[in-house]
Amino acid sequence: MKVLGIESSCDETGVALVEAGGDASTPPRLLAEALHTQAAMHADYGGVVPELASRDHIRRVLPLLERVLADAGAAPADIGLVAYTRGPGLAGALLVGAGVAVALAAALGRPALGVHHLEGHLLSPFLASPTPAFPFVALLVSGGHTQLMHVAGVGRYELLGETIDDAAGEAFDKSAKLLGLGYPGGPALARLAERGDAAAFKLPRPLLHSGDLDFSFAGLKTAVLTQHRKLGAAPDAQALADLAAATQEAIVDVLVAKSLRALEATGASTLVVAGGVGANRRLRQRLDAAVARRGAAVHYPPLALCTDNGAMIALAAALRLQHGLAVPQTDGAFDVRPRWPLAELSITTP
């Protein structure tokens, strides 16, 4: 069956089509995907403006849908299920994707299915090959979330720890803003860090030795601000690169240490990394080395599918369907869940 996925929870409009066999042993296959990022539109404001985001999703979603169907050589009538991001995210932005998805499903006489955005992220390594084996530990690191989950199977998620303040992506973005790198600054900070010496500045590693699996990044941002002020009004380019490298290293140190602790605590031998920060090269290098030393395996989504996209939404819907966990809607009614704890999805029966 062909499953269409529509993502519109924040500042990316994503549409994708996957093919899912009836047999859960064959992972769904991505046929085509298209994405429009609003980053440039929000850059002037230094962050996402929800009303502008909603309006732009309206403009983008149908042209992206047409492109995906053309690229896949598929017709609207070939779609068997229309999946959309039901939450968490910006209410107005979610409503655009949900409204389009449910209307399209009704017009085609097909069911619709609301998907949890983070479930999309944490299952996204199934779009790469080889696919991860259950059970695994998932490190979810995005602009809005930093969580470690134990994933026993599709729909079987247990929260191990999470951030008590800023998310890892926020730590990248806020530090980047302090360094004058614009919005969203994560990728820009990572690029600048490649020319810097991380040892040039001493920055805190919050909660590194807390003994639990929680994170805290708000204090790091304050430390970056203090160091940046010390550099004066016209900082030297090399000093800025050094500070970027030190910031990245502090964030990566904590993410690597807690991921290893989660593997130890659960006895799992597979780590899955998902969410926008999962695109960070330094994080990947350090995790690859640390996990290999333990004799464990680490899986990432394809680089282009680390940040928000429609493919992970279509994939999560397809996997739920294959595992008999989807309850598609056919009545044209829908809602969105701007706040939606992932734990609510978990099925407790083995």
**Residues 226-265 as x/- pattern, contact with ligand KG4 by CB under 6 A:** ----------------------------------------
Of 8, 227, 280, 322, the one binding ligand KG4 by CB under 6 A: 280
Select the binding partner of residue 172 from ligand KG4, Zn ion, none (C-beta < 5 to 8 A, by kind).
ligand KG4
Q: Which is nearer to ligand KG4, 20 or 98 (CB)?
A: 98
Select the binding partner of residue 92 from Zn ion, ligand KG4, none (C-beta < 5 to 8 A, by kind).
none
- Which 180-199 residues touch ligand KG4, going by CB under 6 A? 184, 186-187, 190
- For the chain, the three-class secondary structure string (H helix, E strand, C coil) is CEEEEEECCCCEEEEEEEECCCCCCCCCEEEEEEEEECHHHHHCCCCCCHHHHHHHHHHHHHHHHHHHHHHHCCCHHHEEEEEEEEECCCHHHHHHHHHHHHHHHHHHCCCEEEEEHHHHHHHHHHHCCCCCCCCEEEEEECCCCEEEEEEEECCEEEEEEEECCCCHHHHHHHHHHHCCCCCCCHHHHHHHHCCCCHHHCCCCCCCCCCCCCCECCHHHHHHHHHHHHHCCCCCCHHHHHHHHHHHHHHHHHHHHHHHHHHHHHHCCCEEEEECHHHHCHHHHHHHHHHHHHCCCEEECCCHHHCCCCCHHHHHHHHHHHHCCCCCCECCCCCCCCCCCCHHHHCCCCC
| Residue 173 found at the interface with ligand KG4 (CB under 6 A) | yes
**Residues 130-159 as x/- pattern, contact with ligand KG4 by CB under 6 A:** ------------xxx---------------
Q: Which is nearer to ligand KG4, 87 or 186 (CB)?
A: 186
Select the binding partner of residue 169 from Zn ion, ligand KG4, none (C-beta < 5 to 8 A, by kind).
ligand KG4
The region of 17-25, 58-66, 274-282, 320-328 touching ligand KG4 under the rule CB under 6 A is 274-282
Q: Which is nearer to Zn ion, 111 or 169 (CB)?
A: 169
Minimum CB separation from ligand KG4 for residue 350, in Å? 30
Cis preceding-peptide flag for 135 (omega within 30 of 0): yes
Select the binding partner of residue 190 from ligand KG4, Zn ion, none (C-beta < 5 to 8 A, by kind).
ligand KG4
Q: Which is nearer to Zn ion, 79 or 283 (CB)?
A: 283
| Residue 279 found at the interface with ligand KG4 (CB under 6 A) | yes
The region of 212-220, 223-231, 275-283, 334-342 touching ligand KG4 under the rule CB under 6 A is 275-283
Q: Which is nearer to Zn ion, 56 or 308 (CB)?
A: 308
Which residues lie near Zn ion (CB under 5 A)? 142, 308
Q: How many residues bind ligand KG4 (CB under 6 A)?
A: 18
Q: Which is nearer to Zn ion, 235 or 302 (CB)?
A: 302
Q: Which residues contact 185 (CB under 8 A, 6 or more apart)?
A: 172, 173, 174, 175, 176, 177, 179
Cis preceding-peptide flag for 206 (omega within 30 of 0): no
- Which 290-319 residues touch ligand KG4, going by CB under 6 A? 307-308
- Binding site residues, ligand KG4, CB under 6 A: 10, 142-144, 169, 172-173, 184, 186-187, 190, 275-277, 279-280, 307-308
